[in-house]
Structure 1
Amino acid sequence: MTPAPEDAEHVDTEALSGYLHSPSGSPRGVVALTHGAGGNCTAKILQLMCARFAAHGFVALRYDLPFRRRRPKGPPQPSRAGEDREGVAAVAAATRKYSDGPLILGGVSYGGRQVTMLAAEQPGIADGLLLMSYPLHPPGKPDKPRTEHLPALTAPSVFVHGDRDPFGTLDELQHALALVPAPTTLVPVEGAAHDLGRAKADPSEIAVRAVLAFADGETR
């Protein structure tokens, strides 16, 4: 079941704008997830993931990147991608207050890529990463991989990826993950293209359990 926005608390501060899903008891950690180039924090896959994390005891935030806060529609400007990474960093700092447990950062497509680039620039900013539909290369252009920063990732990472994603095949992504020195887990989503919210099966349970495995120290 996809939770409606009213099932979560709307938050809008200088550092972040989005929806906060709270667990029923003391939080075991925090997860902050953001959207892709064409969406916002109401994306179905973000709602599914955050509801699932909250059910497993995490404070879960789905939030808008700075480019989306500036305007409700349209793609991000490549020349201002650094501002989006600054926005992710601000969210990371703002959400640490919710729990002394692990902080998981992640996102969909463009948002996930910015998270990995920030994590490569600032090792230790997160205790783990959750990347959904990582845009490994532009569609039809496997000769232009977006992998140059992957060898600098030090946080355990879970990649959730459709087997029909035009931004990278599962085999291509598996080869790319070999560049990451930290533990990685690939969660394939059968029959899914780039929009995991349209997948025939909800991938959130498997993905969240994979994150919990390293968050609980099983891969350390």
Structure 2
Amino acid sequence: MIETVPTPAGDARIHWHPAPRARLVLALGHGAGGGVEARDLQALAAALPAHGVTVALVEQPWRVAGKKVAPAPKTLDAAWTALWPVLRKPGLPVVAGGRSAGARVACRTAAGLGAAAVLALSFPLHPPGKPEKSRADELLGAAGAGLPVLVVQGAKDPFGRPEEFPSGTRPVPVPHGDHGFAVPKKADVGQEEALAGIAAAVAEWLAGVGG
């Protein structure tokens, strides 16, 4: 089911993937270079309803409008915040999450919105080749607010490899994965196996979230 929601930045869309007996809602935003069709978002939407998790893939207004460049962070945050009452409508705890830029939005806003936890997929810890320009404060801010935080990171992600993350975060590595969790064809882990591993790790973590 696709639900259109007005926000200060324009109309957004929520792509609902309901669980038969849901106990949580996992809201996932997309990155700045793609949309909700990203392989990891789709893999989670397919796998998690069987674990009692309704997945809501959030399509930001700039993508709905057909634009190719994401707006400023405060605009992304404002649209995400405006969507929150709709995400809470099922009356269940909501886990804030996303991939890349969407993970940053989730981290920046989770505590203020009352999220149950934060899932950061391919968190862009720094621009490629510029580790001195760290965004760790966004990630640590969510954890510092007392929220459970799970980071899932490609082992070869140029925006930050798992071993680069600061203490207080323990990323789940995706072997051979890049920023989009793509793995080379010659790797000892296939693409579908990598995506299944991501889904399994997230499902296991979510089992302990939300009481």
- Normalised by the size of structure 2, how large is the TM-score? 0.84
Task: Give the length in aligned residue pairs.
Answer: 194
Identity among equivalent pairs (%): 30
User: For residue 164 of structure 2, what is the aligned residue in structure 1?
Assistant: 172
Cα shift at 1:172: 0.9
Cα shift at 1:197: 5.5
For residues 182 and 149 of structure 2, what CA distance do their matches in structure 1 show? 20
Q: 1:23 to 1:126 in 2, by over 3 A?
A: same
Mean CA deviation greater in 31-40 or 207-216: 207-216
RMSD of equivalent CA atoms: 1.9
User: For residue 105 of structure 1, what is the aligned residue in structure 2?
Assistant: 96
- Specify the SS of the correspondent of 1:46: helix
| Residue 116, structure 1, aligned to residue 110, structure 2 | no
Runs of 4+ in structure 1 over 3 Å off: none
User: For residue 6 of structure 1, what is the aligned residue in structure 2?
Assistant: none
For residues 149 and 93 of structure 1, what CA distance do their matches in structure 2 show? 23
Q: Which runs of 5+ in 1 are unaligned?
A: 1-8, 179-183
Q: Residue 90 of structure 1 aligns to which amino acid in structure 2?
A: A
User: For residue 178 of structure 2, what is the aligned residue in structure 1?
Assistant: 193
User: For residue 187 of structure 2, what is the aligned residue in structure 1?
Assistant: none
Q: Residue 32 of structure 1 aligns to which amino acid in structure 2?
A: A
For residues 157 and 58 of structure 2, what CA distance do their matches in structure 1 show? 24
For residues 107 and 126 of structure 1, what CA distance do their matches in structure 2 show? 13
User: For residue 69 of structure 1, what is the aligned residue in structure 2?
Assistant: 64
- Specify the SS of the correspondent of 1:97: coil
Cα shift at 1:97: 1.3
Instruction: Say which of 38, 43, 46 aligns to 2:33.
Output: 38
Cα shift at 1:185: 4.7
| Residue 136, structure 1, aligned to residue 128, structure 2 | no
Q: 1:95 to 1:197 in 2, by over 3 A?
A: farther
Q: Deviations over 1:54-88 (max 9, x none)?
A: 11112211011132233x242213xx321111111
User: For residue 181 of structure 1, what is the aligned residue in structure 2?
Assistant: none
- Specify the SS of the correspondent of 2:208: helix
For residues 197 and 30 of structure 1, what CA distance do their matches in structure 2 show? 26
- Specify the SS of the correspondent of 2:95: strand
For residues 197 and 214 of structure 1, what CA distance do their matches in structure 2 show? 28
Q: 1:185 to 1:90 in 2, by over 3 A?
A: farther
Q: Deviations over 1:164-207 (max 9, x none)?
A: 0000121112x2x52xxxxx552110010000265731111112
